[in-house]
Structure 1
Amino acid sequence: MDVCYNKLFKLLIDKGMKKADLRRSTGISPNTLTKLSNHEYVSMEVLVKICRVLECDFGDIVEIVPSKAKEQD
C-alpha cells in the first residue's frame, strides 16, 4: 500500500493556503514538503503538526491506496 496526500492539497485549496504557508505554519522542512508532494512517507509527527494547524484528522489529509507495483502484476 502507498500513501496519497491529494486530500491535503485539496484542503489547502479550500482554506486558501499555499504549500509555503503550510510549511511556515507547521515548521516542517522544505524536504518534508517535497516528500508530501511526491506522495512519499513522512513521520507521524509531521502529520500531527499538519492536523493541528488545519484543525482536521488524519483521514482528512492522507489516503492509503493500492501500490502501483501490484497494479502492474
Structure 2
Amino acid sequence: MIQVNLDRVLVDRKITSKMLAAGVDITPANLSILKTGKAKGIRFETLSKICEVLDCQPGDILEYVPDERPSQD
C-alpha cells in the first residue's frame, strides 16, 4: 500500500493546501483526492511540481507500507 504523507510535509513547510494547489496549478479538489490517498495515480509532472513547491523529495510525500495481512501459504 502507498501512504500519502502530504499533510505532514505541508505542516512542516508551513504551506496551506490552497497555496500548494495554486503553486502546482491543480484544483484544490484534485489535491484533496491526492492527500486522502484516494487517487489511483499521479503524473510525474505533477509530483515534480509538488516537490519543487515544497522543496522535498518524492519519498517525503509517498511511502510504501507493507500490507499487514498474514500470508496464506
TM-score range, shorter chain: 0.7 to 0.9
The runs of 5 or more residues in structure 2 that have no matched partner are none
- TM norm structure 1: 0.74
- 1:34 Cα deviation (Å)? 2.4
The letter of the residue matching 1:5 is: V
Q: What corresponds to 2:43 in structure 1? A: 43
- SS of the residue corresponding to residue 11 of structure 1 reads helix
User: TM-score, normalized by length of structure 2?
Assistant: 0.74
In the TM superposition, residue 14 of structure 1 has moved relative to its aligned partner by 1.3
SS at match of 1:63: strand
CA distance in 2, matches of 1:72, 1:24: 42
Q: Please tell me whether Structure 1 or Structure 2 has the larger radius of gyration of its CA atoms.
A: 2
Moved over 6 A (4+): none
Q: Which residue of 2 aligns with 1:63?
A: 63
Aligned 1:1-73 pairs, distance under 5 A: 2-6=1-5, 8-39=6-37, 40=39, 41-67=41-67, 71=69
Change (3 A) 1:66 1:32: farther
Shift of 1:72: 7.6
How has the CA–CA distance of structure 1 residues 20 and 66 changed in structure 2, closer, same or farther, with 3 Å as cutoff? Answer: same
Structure 1: gaps (5+ residues):
none
Matched residues, number: 69
CA distance in 2: counterparts of 1:36 and 1:72, whole angstroms: 28
Once the two structures are aligned, what percentage of the paired residues are identical? 33
Counterparts of 1:31 and 1:44 in 2: how far apart (Å)? 19
